[in-house]
Amino acid sequence: MASCIFSRDAIFGVLGQGNDWHGMTKEVEDLGVKYFPKYVRCPINVEFNGRNIPTGQSQFVTADDGLPVGTAQNSTFQPILPDRSWELIETALSGTKWTPERVGTLWNRSFWFASIHLTEIAELARPGEKIELLVSAAIDGSQSLMAHLSNTRVVCANTLRIAQGGDCIFKVKQSKNSSDKLEAAKADLEKAAGMVKVFNETLVRLEETPCTEDAALQIYAGQLSRAGLSFANTRNADGTLRKNRAMATADGLRVLFRNGYGNKGETLADVLNGATQFYTRGSLPGSDSEKNVWKAFESSEFGNAGNRKLELLEAISTPSGVRKIRDEGKVALKVFADTARSN
């Protein structure tokens, strides 16, 4: 099925949230871990001369129907099952308000997920915006246990993929030693919940701080200069100016400041959102491609682009920080203008 929900799968949602997932969501009053299937490990043996001989492989099955889930694994493989993951969530989020919104399985129960609404944090979000925690894994280890924060509500397979493009809190590769890594994952989730609350408080301040288009360009130029991009122009052999990557990027970011998703080009929040859109999608207006998007997604969550987003947030979180990065941007833009004339 296009929705990735097969005959053995089920999606459960809290009452009153709507029958999404292509009309397949079952609304319940007490949404929780009990709505996941029970997974049981079964050794794989081969029969030879009337004897069952262990193969060293095992297969997980679901207890209610005895049917296999995912692919066979080495018998030492230890997946992190939904009930263990739920314990981690309950412990890590004990200091904040949260409500499960969706739990379910996809691809014939081989993949499970839980979508959780962080209610206390969401009170600080933009109107109509929800802060969701998505925890997911594959039973056979083909996907790690991962947790992402996103403002995307998971209502279908496509939005699940989008939510997985949110900020990655932890990623635990499932192996025979995966349980040893859960304590660190719990600490990361606790820290992330606190940081997101602080982030949203900062975002409220940014939305209340006016910013002109010229100031936004200066901020972007300052950040790109800090990242090591040169605004100095160079020329081709025939004397024509080469395209300046730094300036082209700053100009593209200025467009996103004004016309990016949800932006009006009026506040420091628009500066941050424009940069977030660029660093997450990896392309500027008019240059989008699937290859760029997926390459940028990896960088956005685990590499340089993720660092750039945090650096910009820190730079514009205080008036003195804004003044400093604007001054650096003015210098970079002057270099661009001067070298365009003199070269």
- pLDDT single digits (tens) 28-82: 988 999 999 999 999 988 888 888 888 889 999 999 999 999 998 888 888 899 9
Q: Are residues 157 and 106 in the same domain?
A: yes
Q: How confident is the model at residue 146 (pLDDT cuts 50, 70, 90)?
A: very high
Statement to judge: residues 114 and 180 lie in one domain: yes
**Are residues 160 and 267 located together in one domain of the fold?**
no
In whole angstroms, give the CA distance from residue 178 to residue 174: 5
Kindly state whether residue 250 falls inside one of the protein's structural domains: yes
Look up the pTM and report it.
Answer: 0.61
Half-sphere exposure of 120 (CA within 13 A, CB side): 12
| pLDDT for the residue 15 | 78
Q: Answer left, alpha or beta for residue 177, where phi above 0 means left and psi between -120 and 50 means alpha.
A: alpha
Asked if the structure places residue 267 within a domain, the reply is yes
Structural domain range at position 156 = 11-36+78-191
Residue 177 lies in a domain: yes
Which three-class secondary structure state does DSSP give residue 259?
Answer: helix
How sure is the predictor about 208, in pLDDT bands with cuts at 50, 70 and 90?
very high
With bands split at pLDDT 50, 70 and 90, how would you rate the model's confidence at 176?
confident
Of residues 289 and 20, more confidently modeled: 20
Total domains, the chain: 2
Residues 97 and 154 in one domain: yes
Same domain (yes/no): 185, 278: no
Tens-digit pLDDT profile for residues 117-129:
887 655 444 544 5
To 10 degrees, the CA torsion angle through 279, 283, 286, 290? -130
Nearest-angstrom CA–CA distance, 145 and 160 = 15
Task: Give yes or no: residues 140 and 258 share one domain.
Answer: no
Same domain flag for 129 and 15: yes
Domain boundary among 191, 223, 244: 191
Residue 98 in any domain: the answer is yes
Q: For the chain, what percent of residues have pLDDT higher than 70?
A: 80
Range of lowest pLDDT (157-161, 206-210, 222-226): 157-161
Q: Are residues 90 and 148 in the same domain?
A: yes
Kindly state whether residues 117 and 169 are assigned to the same domain.
Answer: yes
Q: Contact at 8 Å (CB) between 73 and 140?
A: yes
- Cα 36–chain centre separation: 23
| Residue 7 to residue 1: CA distance in whole angstroms | 9
For residue 2, is it within any domain? no
Asked if residue 105 belongs to a domain, the reply is: yes
The yes-or-no verdict on residue 204 having pLDDT over 80 is yes
Cα-Cα end-to-end distance for the chain: 60
Q: Looking at the chain, which runs of residues are DSSP E strands? A: 11-14, 25-28, 39-48, 51-62, 68-74, 99-106, 111-117, 132-138, 145-150, 167-172
Q: Are residues 140 and 222 in the same domain?
A: no
Report the C-alpha gap between 163 and 122 in whole angstroms. Answer: 16
Domain stop point among 191, 222, 239:
191
Instruction: Give the range among 188-202, 302-316, 318-332 with minimum mean pLDDT.
Output: 302-316
Last residue of a domain, one of 191, 221, 254: 191
Q: Which residue has the tokens 């040169």?
A: 230
> Does position 300 have pLDDT exceeding 50, yes or no?
no
Q: Is the pLDDT of residue 262 over 50?
A: yes
Same domain? For 152 and 23 the reply is yes
Determine how β-strand 111-117 pairs with β-strand 132-138.
antiparallel
182 belongs to a structural domain: yes
**Whether residues 213 and 327 fall in one domain:** yes
Place of tokens 């024509």: 240
Residue 53, domain member (yes or no): no
SS3 state of residue 228: coil
